Amino acid sequence: MASKLGEGGRATESSLAAAAVRLEHVTKKYKSMVAVDDLSLELAPGEFFALLGPSGCGKTTTLRMVGGFDQPTSGRIFLGGDDITWTPPYRRDVNTVFQSYALFPHLSVFDNVAFGLRRKGTDKREVSQLVEEHLELLGLGGFGPRPATQLSGGQQQRVALARALVNRPRVLLLDEPMGALDAKIRKSMQLELKRIQREVGITFLYVTHDQDEAMALGDRLAVMHGGRYEDLGEPQRVYDQPATQFVAEFLGACNLLAVNPDHDRLCLPDGSVIGARLGTMASTPSLIRQVGVRPEKMQLRRVDHSDATSPSSATNRVNATVDSVVYLGATSEYELTSSWGGHLHVVAQNIDDADRLRPGDHVTASWHVEHGFALPADNATVTPVEEPTREAKEASRVN
Amino acid sequence: MTTDAPVLAKPASRRPSWIRRHSPPYWLSLIGGGWMLAFFLIPLVSGLIVSLETGNPLTGYHLTWNWAIYQQLFVHSDIPYTTFFLRSLYYGAATTVLSIVISYPMAYYIAFKVKERWKSPLLFLVLLSFFVSFVIRTDMWAFILSNQGIVITALRDLHLVGKNFHILGTSNAVIGGDVYNNLAFMVLPIYVALERIDGRILEAARDLYSNGRQVFLRVVLPLSRAGIFAGVLLVFITTVGDPVVSSLLGGVGTYTIGQAIQDSYLTNQQFNVAAALSTALMVVLGLIMFIYAKVFGTQNIENLV
């Protein structure tokens, strides 16, 4: 990437045309605060990309810079190969769905949706045809003459989507568009958004703090923290093999086992050796400080049960005692104390009543080596590397 | 799990009557309604009645249902009341237009361009002239703009104007004074309307291919319509009926209907003439405002702008 940067200008355009949006070392500073810190991102055409992170992580600032509402302090932004860093918003082929919808309160639904087309000087007949088409696409047929402010939250959100999509932008920016919707509408809207995105084939850049939403919608997602992303990839990969502790914990519950690397082997505090998959940041055994395991990936068995399966190198085992059980219908949540006094959290499906454990039971918690992910020290300052290739991922396993 | 049994809802002692449940708004409007009745409706009707009386200041006035007075005043009258009327309407219209032109940028600046902590001080400055009595501050302008005052002396010394140039006594002086006195009535409602506009709506407009001019014409202006509308009502009505500015800053050629009403009432004690003029003024203003509201108060102002 650095060499491409060095060449600069138009010479590289043809080779970069593939990316719908590209951010090159983008930094945004507000007085003393760094909102976005040397961020480089690339969105493929037609991709649904989710930018995920807690509030203040810089995700909205990133979106606003792509939209043109904020200018980066340094770095460049490309839209399909064109440098748009300093292009004003009204000349960018990008449209935004705002968190609060920001519909024009003085206009009808039709006029709201037609707003962009009219500013572009689209032919009158084409305007009304396109607007009706998009109202139909979003299930708003017949709503055209209504005042925009008299619709429900869900309907207003659809109008906001139609208003942006009707312009056929090269990239659609969505700033927490579901933030103001209640949970039920949100679920159905997610499905619909995914359908619409497939139908129109426009690149979506979707900003959210809701990890379920990001995983459900995104073809890829980036988890942002402190102005940069800590991990980027397909949702399943990022969930199963997060690069850092922050990413692991942001995407869901997670057990963290402190380990000591000892000659390419990972030792738990009680001395037993476990295996884990190398991460993008804990890429060599010496960097590994912790191993993470998702609670649903652990299996619990009573110790007194005669164990049919013999221990294998593909399975990690830990002895533990059950502290408490919370029954949740479909699943049960167990809190355990491991043999060295550590704390474990396990979620198990309630399949067989006989398998259910009670506080005080001695158990072995086991999980597949593949399900343990290596994490670096919490305050690691290593720059995240690009998504490794599939082969590299297969290869990066230690036992 | 709690062991407390759910508390049974206490049966309502008695359902209050429909009137009891729905009357509070009417009770609350009682003071305002009473005020309107005592100080607006009664003078209105009594004004109309007084205008239909005949007589003179010596013998007193008696109600004779003299509807002809309206014709006498406005058709082939010795005193050109119609001219005064039209002149006042012209002053009102010119003042209103000028007020909008001056106030809108002020309000826009305070609402959008100024840091939050400077807004209140600036609005206070807009209101500051109201701390001085209306008559005094208008008369101060008469002093400043008089032929021996600093403005004209300076202009004359700089040879920018001729020897006979004067400001006082002209229509422009009256309109200028009216604009000065009414500026706050235009700035404040426009400011309130602009202040309420969500910044994200402006971003949405820019996002949808509007440049600065289009954002203003298509979004900001239509959304501040209510403020302009309120400002126009306040400024136009107060200006048309006002006798003070034209008498202090004007001359023979700027005599307004407000002055005519004042003089016929206080100086000549022609109560019926004063009442008839004021009733006519009220009807004309009411009509103009009604038409104005019909045209500009509609939802689809975008089609007009």
Q: What is the pLDDT along chain A (399 residues), one digit of tens a residue?
A: 333 333 333 334 444 456 899 999 999 998 888 999 999 999 999 999 999 999 888 999 999 999 999 999 999 999 988 899 999 999 999 999 998 889 999 999 999 999 999 999 999 999 999 999 999 988 898 899 999 988 988 899 999 999 999 999 999 999 998 887 888 888 888 888 999 999 899 999 999 999 999 999 999 999 999 899 999 999 999 999 888 889 999 998 888 888 887 777 787 877 777 888 777 677 777 778 888 899 999 888 887 655 555 556 678 888 889 999 999 988 999 999 988 888 899 999 888 877 788 888 888 888 888 888 888 876 544 444 444 444 444 444 444
Q: What domains appear along chain A, each with residue ranges and CATH number?
A: 17-237 (3.40.50.300), 254-398 (2.40.50.140)
User: Which residues pair with residue B63 across a beta bridge?
Assistant: B53
Residue of A nearest to B196 (CA): A105
- Does any CB of chain B come closer than 8 Å to the CB of residue A67? yes
CB contact under 8 A, A115 and B218: yes
**What per-residue confidence (pLDDT) applies to B173?**
93
- Does any CB of chain B come closer than 8 Å to the CB of residue A116? yes
Name the percent of chain A in helix, strand, coil, to the closest 5.
30, 30, 40
pLDDT tens, B133-155?
Answer: 889 999 999 999 988 888 888 98
pTM over 0.90: no
The CA–CA distances, whole Å, from A268 to A299, A314, A317, A337, B72 equal 18, 16, 11, 14, 110
Burial of B10 (0-12, 13-18, 19+ CB in 10 A): exposed
**What per-residue confidence (pLDDT) applies to A382?**
44
pLDDT tens, B114-131?
Answer: 999 999 999 999 988 888
CB contact under 8 A, B200 and A102: yes
Write out chain A residues lying below 8 Å of B299, CB-based.
106, 147
B106 CA: distance to closest CA in chain A (Å): 23
pLDDT tens, B157-213?
Answer: 898 888 888 889 899 999 999 999 999 999 999 999 999 999 999 999 999 999 999
Q: Whole-angstrom Cα distance, residue A169 to residue A96?
A: 9
CB contact under 8 A, B209 and A104: no
Work out the number of other CB atoms within 10 angstroms of the CB of residue A254. Answer: 21
CB contact under 8 A, B206 and A104: no
Domain ranges of chain B: 19-48, 80-304
CB contact under 8 A, A96 and B207: yes
Write out chain B residues lying below 8 Å of A116, CB-based.
208-209
Mean pLDDT of B56-77: 85
> Any idea what the Cα angle at residue A121 is, between residues A118 and A125, rounded to 5°?
70
Query: Considering only residues 162 to 181 of chain A, which have any Cβ-Cβ distance to chain B shorter than 8 Å?
Result: 163-164, 167
Question: Phi, psi at residue A337, to the nearest 5°?
Answer: -115, 125
What class, spelled out in words, does domain B80-304 have in CATH?
mainly alpha
Q: Which residue has the tokens 């398998």?
A: A355
Is the predicted ipTM greater than 0.85, yes or no? no
- Does any CB of chain B come closer than 8 Å to the CB of residue A68? yes
CB contact under 8 A, B205 and A115: yes
- Quick check: helix, strand or coil at residue A137? helix
Q: How many residues does chain A have?
A: 399
